[in-house]
């Protein structure tokens, strides 16, 4: 009888490298804590990101198996929500709101100015690891648009000048 070879599954996002043991232990602990709650996927992904700062690709099969989902389903949720990061962030994270109210108040121009000021593209971390620039979708300051969050601090009515001053203070302006 010829050997049976299973063809690769379309949803196979098998990681190239194993997680370090301590990170895998952390992810396992979070899975244990969240797996039995209703609708566990999003809270679990948030918990992983809150703990590690990002969601390693290698965590995807662990989460999928624990929640009886396909890897593609978990991967799809992670990539659908802009909030989730698949790579570690820089030492500082600059988030520029691109939702409706901020967009009407110049958020697109502000984001372009932030890219130039910080020397990194939107969704990217600068090569020196100093800063990550992320577009986000509503920071809850719609009445005072445009809004920016730098690390954990929110800033309303942001201007290019204020952003430059803040970036200079943090040592991330180019
Ligand atoms: S739309 Fe930007 S803070 Fe709400």
Domain boundaries defined on the chain: 21-80, 92-170
Cα(152) to centroid(ligand 1), Å? 16
Closest ligand 1 atom to residue 100 Cα is 1
pLDDT value of position 138: 94
Domain 92-170 has CATH 3.40.30.10: yes
Run of H or E including 24: helix 21-34
Backbone angles phi, psi at 92, to 5 degrees: -125, 145
- Burial classification of residue 114, based on how many CB atoms lie within 10 Å of its CB (0-12 exposed, 13-18 middle, 19 or more buried): buried
pLDDT value of position 21: 87
Cβ–Cβ < 8 Å for 96, 107: yes
pLDDT tens figures, 67-105: 999 999 999 999 999 889 999 999 999 999 999 999 999
Cβ count near 22 (within 10 Å): 8
Q: How many helices (H) and strands (E) does the chain have?
A: 7, 5
pLDDT value of position 17: 65
For the chain, 174 residues long, the average pLDDT of each consecutive 10-residue run is 38 56 93 96 97 94 97 96 90 96 97 97 94 95 97 96 97 95
Closest ligand 1 atom to residue 101 Cα is 1
Instruction: Report pTM.
Output: 0.77
């Amino acid at each position: 009888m010829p050997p049976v070879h299973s063809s690769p599954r379309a949803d196979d996002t098998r990681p190239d490298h194993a997680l370090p043991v301590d990170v895998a232990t952390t992810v396992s602990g979070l899975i244990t804590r969240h797996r039995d709650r209703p609708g566990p996927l999003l809270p679990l992904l948030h918990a992983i990101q809150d703990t590690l700062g990002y969601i390693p690709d290698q965590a995807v099969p662990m989460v999928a198996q624990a929640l009886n989902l396909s890897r593609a389903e978990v991967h799809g949720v992670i990539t659908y929500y802009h909030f989730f990061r698949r790579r570690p962030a820089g030492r500082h994270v600059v988030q520029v709101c691109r939702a409706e109210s901020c967009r009407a108040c110049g958020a697109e121009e502000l984001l372009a100015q932030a890219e130039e000021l910080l020397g990194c593209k939107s969704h990217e971390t600068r090569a020196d690891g100093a800063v990550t620039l992320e577009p986000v979708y509503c920071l809850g300051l719609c009445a005072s648009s445009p809004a920016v969050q730098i690390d954990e601090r929110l800033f309303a009515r942001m201007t290019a000048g204020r952003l430059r001053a803040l970036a200079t203070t943090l040592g991330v302006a180019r």
